[in-house]
Chains A and B, each alone.
Chain A
Amino acid sequence: MKKPGDRFDVMLPLRLSGQQRWTSDRSSGGSLFTARTGILLLAMLVTSVAVAQVQARDPNASVLDLIIKWTPLLAKGFGFNLLISAMAMLVGTVSGLLLGLARISLMAPVRGTSWIVVQFFRNAPWLVLLFFVMFLMPFEFHIGGLTVPFPDWIKAMLGLALPIMANFAEIVRGAVQSIPSAQWEAARSLAFSRRQTLWQIILPQCIKRMLPPWMNWYAILTMATTLASIVGVSEVMTMVGRVTAAEARTDLLIPIYSYVLLWFFIYCYPIALWTQRLELRYAER
């Protein structure tokens, strides 16, 4: 039997070759959770804390104590990040699905407009989009006599959802186009309408193909939620700024930033690993 590594004799597309590399990595005895990086970060944190401990001018409050003391506050900020990321993903996914379906519409004007929208939001920097939404949307809405407040974190969430929307639209389009056209033809011969074909036959099959890139974008989005601190939302980076300002200790800086980096890594790296595994599993079928 041939090994998976030498199955192809032609030049491979990038994605496929990446997956194969993953296979060989696993079979060659590399441990599954390659926790080296987490360990690296942890080591960074520990050494920086240790160095800071030794250098501490005020022995009453060690750096470790300070970090433990502020952990609940940082956790609150981090939870806020996760909330923003989850809601932005929800909004981005729903609107991206609609935009993606518009990209494969039979009407040329709809197709053209959605193409422009997708290109625009994919190619604009996240930060600029965030500024755009933060500064140009009102802080409250008046509907009739009712005043609906529109807090800044909701606006940040919408700003982050825009690039997700555009990128997810492309994922949807790619997935729909990857379904063999025989499926469409078979559905038509069974007298399915276009809408029925799309919702009952094509899209259910797409979910499997869309899942890995969708998860990948979720990880990217989670990392991008820190941008909200620039526009004044009180998430984890804002909290870090406040803690360092409150403590005013230079030896705290490296430990606390490594600490936050470690949190994000612990959250995002398993997602990345899981994505790779799903890609591999779906590719094998």
Chain B
Amino acid sequence: MDEVAAWFKWLHDTSGIKLTIFYDSYDRTRFLKGLATTLELSVYCLVLSLALGALTAWLVGSRTAIVRRCANGFVQLFRNTPPLVQLYFFYFALGPLLPKVGGMPMLGSMGWAVISLTLLEAAFVAEIFRAGVEAVPKAMTEAAQSLGYSRSQIFRLIVLPLALRVTMPAMTNNLVNLVKTTTLAYAIAVPELVYMSAQIWSEQVNVPEMMVVLLISYVAIVGVITQLMHRLEIRLRVPGFGQ
């Protein structure tokens, strides 16, 4: 670790390329904290949006017209308005309405970012789930019915496992988009990767270097996710479908 730090110091002295995050412990801590916040935000939003998205997909398929319409409205509303405006709406317009607890707002910027991004992603997840469930051939559920499975059993044991596999590629895409969308939280001062990098580059005046580091970081995160999901997809593959 010391050698790496020494090398980057030497790089700065000889070429002027200033990558403080490798040898300045304060900047490194800040950068890593930003990275951790980005991942934390992504994981929270992923888990919550999967739950909410599944619920919405279920409501979209409801038999009651009013429930179906409301769920559809929610999906279309969040898909067809800018995510940034949604974030501002939650943070600046709804945020001040919450009661304060001990002089502090009940929900900080991080909390609102989680809520806003979760709702946005849930709208996309709902569409993916719906398409996945519809992609399961009717013959399968009929076969299960004739074998005496109950409705909930059919959904849990037949439809869901197949639908999850069908939705895998779309889910990977969605996860990548989620990680990319967390950068919006910068606008409401959530201390995530972009925010921390902006602090570093405005103090150290090394904008080009930090920009490149930032871009590479995101491409790397996305690359890791894509690889992991691809492996998962191969492991879960059902023989007889696809190529």
**What residues make up the interface of A, taking CB atoms closer than 8 Å to B?**
6, 8-14, 17-18, 20-21, 34, 36-37, 40-41, 119-120, 123-129, 131-132, 135-136, 219, 222-227, 229-230, 237, 240, 244, 250, 253-254, 256-258, 260-261, 264-265, 268-269, 272
A8 to B73 alpha-carbon distance, docked (Å): 29
Query: Is B39 positioned at the interface, with any CB of A under 8 Å from its CB?
Result: no
Interface size range of chain B in the complex: 35 or more
Q: Which residues between 96 and 148 of chain B lie within 8 Å of chain A, taking CB atoms?
A: 96-97, 127-128, 130-132, 134-139
**Can you name the residue of chain B whose Cβ is closest to the Cβ of A262?**
B81
A269 to B88 alpha-carbon distance, docked (Å): 20
Q: Is the interface of B mostly helix, strand, loop or mixed?
A: helix
Determine the chain A residues whose CB is within 8 A of the CB of B194 once the complex forms.
Answer: 125, 127-128, 131
Interface pair B84/A135, CB less than 8 Å apart: no
Known A-B contacts A14-B132, A18-B131, A230-B186; the reply to A124 vs B219 at CB < 8 A is yes
Sort A-B residue pairs by CB-CB distance and give the 8 closest, nearest first: A223-B82, A125-B180, A253-B93, A257-B89, A127-B183, A37-B76, A125-B183, A123-B222
Determine the chain A residues whose CB is within 8 A of the CB of B139 once the complex forms.
Answer: 9
Known A-B contacts A12-B135, A131-B194, A257-B93; the reply to A126 vs B85 at CB < 8 A is no
Determine the chain A residues whose CB is within 8 A of the CB of B88 once the complex forms.
Answer: 237, 240, 257
Determine the chain A residues whose CB is within 8 A of the CB of B183 once the complex forms.
Answer: 125-128
Determine the chain B residues whose CB is within 8 A of the CB of A254 once the complex forms.
Answer: 89, 93-94, 97
Q: Which residues between 61 and 95 of chain B lie within 8 Å of chain A, taking CB atoms?
A: 69, 72-73, 76-77, 79-86, 88-89, 92-94
A40 to chain B, nearest CB (A): 5
Determine the chain A residues whose CB is within 8 A of the CB of B89 once the complex forms.
Answer: 254, 257-258, 261
A8 to B135 alpha-carbon distance, docked (Å): 10
Query: Which stretch, B3-11, B46-54, B207-215, touches the partner chain A?
Result: B207-215
| Interface flags, B165-181, vs A, CB<8A=1, else 0 | 01101100000100111
A234 to chain B, nearest CB (A): 15
Determine the chain B residues whose CB is within 8 A of the CB of A119 once the complex forms.
Answer: 219
Determine the chain A residues whose CB is within 8 A of the CB of B181 once the complex forms.
Answer: 125
Known A-B contacts A123-B176, A244-B92; the reply to A219 vs B131 at CB < 8 A is no
A18 to B166 alpha-carbon distance, docked (Å): 13
Query: Is B223 positioned at the interface, with any CB of A under 8 Å from its CB?
Result: yes
